[in-house]
Amino acid sequence: MIYTLIVFLVFIISSMVYLVKSSPGEPEGFIDKNGNRLEGSLSEKIFVSIGGVKQGMFIRSKNLDNPVLLFVHGGPGFPNYFLIEKYDPGLEDYFTVCYWEQRGGGLSYTPEVTTESMTLEQLASDAIEVTNYLRDRFRKEKIFVLAWSGGTAIALPAVAKSPELFHAYIAMGQLTRQRQSEKIAYEFMLNQFTEKNDRRSVLKLKKFNHLKTESDLISFYNSATRDQLMHGLGIGTMRSMKSVFRDIFLPVWTCKAYTLREKYNIWKSKMMFLPTTNLKNETLTTDFPDTFPEIEIPVYFISGKYDLTVNVDLSKAYYRSLKAPLKGFYTFVNSAHGPLFEEPEKFREILEKDVLQSGKSMADSF
């Protein structure tokens, strides 16, 4: 008994020491071949007053002469920078990138943020304010914006309202009609687990009563069960990401860009604050194709073939109906919900050959 207790205490102490060492609280800088700081580069964590409250962001660039890109993470309210650090997809090869952490989550979790202020309208307004901060700071007339999943519900309204601020809109996992997307995913999972004779997973799904009522649908959309089962089938964040605990929870705690307090705030916000807001349900109930039938700047939709988190076919249908001066749709055949991390080489090639050249040579043919 005493031996077991000692082993347990040693494990706890070792884990705490490891967490402290893994939490310097600064993003890694860029170095040249001699190990010195890369001239003309930038890697910082800063806090700016946006929408009347302090909001945090990481800004990273290998060359400050490059165009500026605003990355609008998904969630909503759950920052994704830990994936940038883990997978290093290489956006900074082409852009000065701002990884803004939206009000109420991550670096931007603060008691100043009220539940009433957590609306898509307010977050879109924040996105415009962040855009103008970046334009002023880096002396750019326009910037690019890359939004992922729930972030598209924020960036799309911002782009529609102020197209003059942006070169192009890049949407990875564009939200469309999420009610319909959830029902498709639910039936797919139910069929898959039935075929596998996975009775435990089938019973978990049947608790949501085939999403027959609005209450059932909302409960499913906000449940941990949904995320867990999606990841198990490879239709969640990534095809290879099978465990929420191993592939999301632990990487947040080992991300070097955050302090221990900031990591705690990420989970405190996700578990305790964000569920008290109506933000996620807004993404469920908004019909984006009907609300935003036209965008006045070039649009690039990027989707994984296996994405049922935000249904790829619904995104494709929206793309077909959307009016824009230039548009391209790109299917990543080995990806689910995170092509930037699953197929980064192809993603970078699209940026280089199409987005930065205002073209669509690599787009799917319809």
pLDDT tens figures, 158-217: 999 999 999 999 999 999 999 999 999 999 999 999 999 999 999 999 999 999 999 999
* CATH number of 288's domain: 3.40.50.1820
Give the pLDDT mean for 66-77: 92
Query: Does some domain include residue 366?
Result: no
Q: Which tops the pLDDT comparison, 10 or 237?
A: 237
The CA distance from 86 to 120, in Å, is 28
Which pLDDT score is estimated for 29? 87
Percent of the chain at pLDDT exceeding 90: 78
Note the pLDDT of residue 1.
64
Q: Give 302's strand partners.
A: 172, 330
**How many separate domains does the chain show?**
1
Residue 27 in any domain: the answer is: no
In a domain, 244, yes or no: no
pLDDT score recorded for residue 259? 93
Asked, for residue 191, whether it belongs to a domain, the answer is no
On the 0-12 / 13-18 / 19+ scale of CB atoms within 10 A, 38 is middle
How many Cβ atoms sit within 10 Å of the Cβ of residue 21?
10
Sign of the CA dihedral 298, 143, 282, 210?
positive
Residues 114-138: tens digit of each pLDDT: 999 999 999 999 999 999 999 999 9
Cis peptide before 344 (omega within 30 of 0): no
Closest-CA residue to 166 (of 72, 47, 55): 72
Task: Kindly state whether residue 234 falls inside one of the protein's structural domains.
Answer: no
Q: Can you give the residue range of the structural domain that contains 317?
A: 42-178+282-357
Establish if 232 belongs to a structural domain. no
- Look at residue 319 and tell me if it is in a domain: yes
